[in-house]
Amino acid sequence: MEELGMQPGKPFPGTRATRPDFVGLGYFIIGYG
């Protein structure tokens, strides 16, 4: 996997996510696609 979801401006909450990790993963998929 690439770090596209971790770049600034992407809808990836990362460590700021107050929800479970699976929600953050969902945001990563959205940002990746």
pTM of the model: 0.27
Q: What is the pLDDT of residue 7?
A: 53
Could you tell me the CA-to-CA distances from 4 to 26, 28 in Å, in that order?
14, 9
Q: How far is residue 25 from each of residues 1, 12, 19, 29, measured CA to CA in Å?
A: 12, 8, 11, 6
Check residue 14 and give its pLDDT. 56
Confidence (pLDDT) at 3: 52
| pLDDT tens profile 1-33 | 455 555 555 555 555 545 556 777 777 777 765
- Residue 28's pLDDT is what? 72
pLDDT at 26: 76
pLDDT number for residue 1: 46
Q: Where are the domains of the chain?
A: 1-33
**In whole angstroms, what is the distance from residue 7 CA to residue 14 CA?**
11
Question: Which position has the token pair 């990362």?
Answer: 14
What's the CA gap between 4 and 20, in Å, rounded? Answer: 21
